[in-house]
Structure 1
């Protein structure tokens, strides 16, 4: 079999989104030269992490922004989604099944201890243990020895301090593409001494580190400073990063407008009509790998997706939503109505999959489907609720979507507000939702698989709707083991056609990244996944 080699340069990966930002509008100049105060602290917005800051248990954007800044995996992703070597010197395989990973020499954690092959193998094995209940444990499911129902013994072998091997259960040509995700981060030995304490004050090997032992002030902010020992592709040109946890996006917008915040990575919908005039040379509006939906949990009465009633009601709800009107009126064309479960910036995307017509607004068809469900079991005067977090700027579109559902189907429908994203996630984790809830995905790495496996695979960490389908799981497994990009794409598209029949979530739209920055900073560039490349930013 042709040898797959991953060397010091950018990795030539299967199905990357290397050109996804070509031709997109952006108001900034991210030039090659850096100027400004190298000790200056960059400020940006964020949200309180749901969990302690352990890489394998951080699967939401608030914590993810911090973890990705503090840790360096084997590879990282540049602005366009192409993969670059980070902690790894090379990643090689003769058969796409047995992979040999060599590390760059001389790397250390911020406590001064060395980053070794065992720093990776021990961390991966710990994350994969069933008894440790890590939300991202399923990312290791294609490594031999993984078990979703018992403690795992991953087929990882340490060859030397700077070399180890990983044996996959089946060939996967794009496996190195996944290794930039935070679950694959290394951990220092101190982690195992007190995991709880580590989660409050993580010790990483990335471009930034916590400014002090008490740098994380819960529900307020976290302060990071540059890690001078980091020498990878994301070496910062500034002195640090402070992430403030805003309760509303409008408050964050007011701060960046007044110069009290440097970068805002999500303009609130209340400012869509004015942000370009407010920041004429300092805005971005470009495609990103973000899919948005709402989830109707399988345990919700009348919506069991394995029953005819449940399938009819899910389809009726989907057809009752006027996505075209909402994206135009509420989002001022900063969203695009969904045609699948992934993103148009990902290779393999298709807008004409079988069953995708369920995403087209059709009031008469929606009423008919609902009536068929009513003939099976009356819905009564139950109110259909759609939960959202108030700190994320979601109320306007939730109100518009529930009004569309109510007007079309003649039922009561309304939003249900949670104060914070963490509180919403906690109820989702505990199967405590009494209605639908807003959901979506910001890609971890540029692949169709990443939009499907974490959200819908049986037992996956972000499968909060508790969806399960042996047909879907089989197609996903088949695509993951494919030896060519075309074969993998065909399997993943067929898997989505299963999702269109079952509708575990109701796809809504794809997001652009709409960000702004103050005149206090330069060289602002937003990446393929909508996150600013903070390490490039300069400040006077």
Structure 2
């Protein structure tokens, strides 16, 4: 997979404390939590400054959680196992893993009455793949034939305005063919055994023609095809959605209305305590008291998460970043266990691999040899690397978030304590744009959770590039053996064979050690007594709203 553009991915936009899973529903048993008579309403929190609800442009936890009940995709994932199963698709097949035939069930429509047919998926994928549309999920379509011809050259400013300097040669993927209303034929550039596994991701959702005709309006009030439809979105304040009476799908919640309130960071916790939200999790400072409250812990749900937080380096800027001994020194100087206990108690565990063990097929513990806290070995590695320039501070860049800053300040303190390297945090509001533009002079925070259940998704989108000279966009990493093993995995005859090849690629990554794994997420949420069957998403840790039951 070739990631050459500075695109934000779902994982990269996750906060370090995304494990808090601040998606939730109507009030609790606390004072003030009684709901008035009327529609069965669940009340949730949005905490990530959501900017759009256009599926092909939505790739952070909160967008995805909302769109999961507004739209239906070809495939959905079982929360217990992450296994994909057909939903809008009745069959997805391929004789060679290159040419795929997708058969779409009859009878599904969008909220405006348009049919959810092969054309609905083709128009959505073509819009997403067209470079100058500058949507965040563009790169998901690079495996499909004709993608490169749709990119051209363009620049996007901080306001989202796009200037095209070289027009693409086409506006449609040559590898996407509408055979008939119920049949979509997709031709890839090369075999990829995991293609059908990808198709439950938000970026592959269909869109109505009316949505493409007015994309700006659709981004605020989407025309979906799921069990709920957006009533109103007052951006930055509140988002409401009502049950769609004409929904034909099987996965329909038993409540009538969802109200999301937008918050900053973990500031929704007081409202959960007051009974105004149905799920939430406390900020780190209140974690211990919440977990010592028997009434709260009786309504606590947790599961291992799939999120990985890790430290990256600008390898493309040369020394000391491209010196593996320096990177080893940084890693072994960090006491992950102590930091988590102090800053993220009960919400993370120390990471020792690049693929979360047990989270997706192929995840294996212990692939990181230098993730064990060892200050003496860290000092020796730093000396071998030539030391650190006297009087210079190590800059650690990250997004602007209180919990992130606490977490990485603790990491910086460990580096200072165990290696004598002074540091400074660089919280920046345009973190992702700066990272994609290679604008960092020091280490920087990264986060990833998979968009589909395959160990390849932790590896290829993050580290592959196909460019031996420049390496991948974010780090400048390149290894021909790594790329070869990813390609061999893609071309395997079965998913099981592919998973084994991707695991070999992770071992190559482990030897090169381009980034430092820090922590794996633990998904945790508390819920009110007005809801039950609280199931957490195996990828993001958010509450699965289709499974949530309102009991009043």
TM-score w.r.t. length of structure 1: 0.82
**Cα deviation 1:203-223 (Å, max 9, x = unaligned):** 2212322113xx1423x3322
Q: Which residue of 2 aligns with 1:270?
A: 285
Which of 270, 274, 277 is residue 258 of structure 1 equivalent to? 274
The 5 A counterparts of 1:437-456 are 437-456=444-463
Does 1:66 pair with 2:84? no
Cα 1:258/1:446, change in 2 over 3 Å: same
Displacement after TM superposition at 1:303 (Å): 4.7
Name 1:324's counterpart in structure 2. Answer: 337
Counterpart CA distance in 2 for 1:234 and 1:99 is: 26
Match of 1:395 in 2: 405
* Structure 2 equivalent of residue 359 of structure 1: 371
Query: What do the CA deviations read for 1:139-165 (whole angstroms, capped 9, x no partner)?
Result: 223333332865573412212112111
Counterpart-to-counterpart distance in 1, 2:120 and 2:74: 11
Would the aligned equivalents of 2:321 and 2:327 in 1 still touch at CA under 8 Å? no
| CA positional deviation for 1:240 | 2.7
Q: For the Cα contact (< 8 Å) 2:193–2:498, is it kept in 1? A: no
Distance 2:465 2:547 in 1: 39
Counterpart for residue 237 of structure 1: 254
1:539 and 1:300 map into 2 onto residues whose CA distance is 57
After TM superposition, give the deviation of residue 304 of structure 1 in Å: 4.4
Structure 2 counterpart of 1:314: 327
Note if 1:208 corresponds to 2:228: yes
CA distance in 1, matches of 2:202, 2:320: 34
TM-superposition CA deviations, 1:421-454 (whole Å, max 9, x none): x643344344444443322112212110111222
Give deviations 1:104-145, integer Å, cap 9, x for gaps. Answer: 212111222221201111221221223333332222233333
**1:283 aligned onto 2:308:** no
Which residue in the other structure is 1:24 paired with?
none
Relative to 1, partners in 2 of residues 1:146 and 1:410: Cα closer, same or farther, differing over 3 Å?
same
The alpha-carbon distance between structure 1 residues 50 and 296, as it changes in their structure 2 partners (threshold 3 A), is farther
Report the 3-state secondary structure (helix = DSSP H, G, I; strand = E; otherwise coil) of the residue aligned with 1:374. Answer: coil
Matched, 1:297 2:314: yes
CA distance in 1, matches of 2:457, 2:241: 28
1:512 aligns with 2:522: yes
Match of 1:160 in 2: 180
Q: 1:321 deviation in Å?
A: 0.8
Deviations 1:51-92 (A, max 9, x none): 533222222223222233322110111321222322212222
Contact 1:52 1:196 in 2 (8 A): no
Q: Distance in 2 between matches of 1:269 and 1:233?
A: 38
- Distance in 1 separating the partners of 2:228 and 2:434: 32
Deviation at 1:400, TM superposition (A): 1.7
Q: Which residue of 2 aligns with 1:222?
A: 239
Cα shift at 1:49 = 4.4
Q: Match of 2:102, SS?
A: strand
Tell me if structure 1 keeps the 8 A contact 2:354–2:506: yes
Contact map agreement 2:302 2:536 (CA 8 A) in 1: no
Mapped contact 1:125–1:154 kept (Cα < 8 A): no
The answer to whether residue 464 in structure 2 is matched with residue 457 in structure 1 is yes
Please tell me whether residue 173 in structure 1 is matched to residue 193 in structure 2: yes
Q: Give the secondary-structure state (helix, strand or coil) at the position aligned to 2:224.
A: coil
Q: What residue is the counterpart of 1:532 in the other structure? A: 543
Counterparts in 2 of 1:139 and 1:67: CA distance versus 1, 3 Å:
same
Contact 2:454 2:499 in 1 (8 A): no
**Is 1:489 aligned to residue 499 of structure 2?**
yes
Distance 1:430 1:439 in 2: 15
- The verdict on how the C-alpha distance between 1:91 and 1:122 changes in structure 2, with shifts beyond 3 A counting, is same
Given that 2:436 and 2:473 are in contact with CA atoms closer than 8 Å, whether structure 1 keeps it comes out as no
Does structure 1 conserve the Cα–Cα contact (< 8 Å) formed by 2:201 and 2:451? yes
* Aligned position for 2:31: none
Return 5+ residue gaps in structure 2 as ranges.
1-35, 153-167
* C-alpha distance in structure 1 between counterparts of 2:502 and 2:274, whole Å: 46
Cα gap change, 1:466 to 1:121, in 2 (>3 Å)? farther
Separation in 1, partners of 2:58, 2:479: 25
| Mapped contact 1:91–1:102 kept (Cα < 8 A) | yes
Q: How far off is 1:365 after superposition?
A: 2.0
Task: Provide the secondary structure at the position in 2 that maps to 1:244.
Answer: strand
The 1:141–1:283 alpha-carbon spacing in structure 2 relative to 1, beyond 3 Å, is same
Aligned to 2:46: 46
- What is the match of residue 10 of structure 2? none
Would you say the 8 A contact 1:385–1:436 is kept in 2? yes
Q: Does 1:372 align with 2:372?
A: no
CA distance in structure 2 between the aligned counterparts of 1:99 and 1:108, rounded to whole angstroms: 23
CA deviation string 1:1-25 (max 9, x = no partner): xxxxxxxxxxxxxxxxxxxxxxxxx
CA contact (8 A) 1:85 1:233 kept: no
Corresponding residue number in structure 2 for 1:335: 348
1:87 lines up with 2:105 in the alignment: no
1:97–1:171: 8 Å Cα contact kept in structure 2? yes
Secondary structure, aligned partner of 1:204: coil
**In the aligned structure 2, how far is the partner of 1:50 from the partner of 1:374?**
44
Find the residue that maps to 1:139 and give its secondary structure. helix
For 2:551 and 2:444, the matched residues in 1 are separated by 39
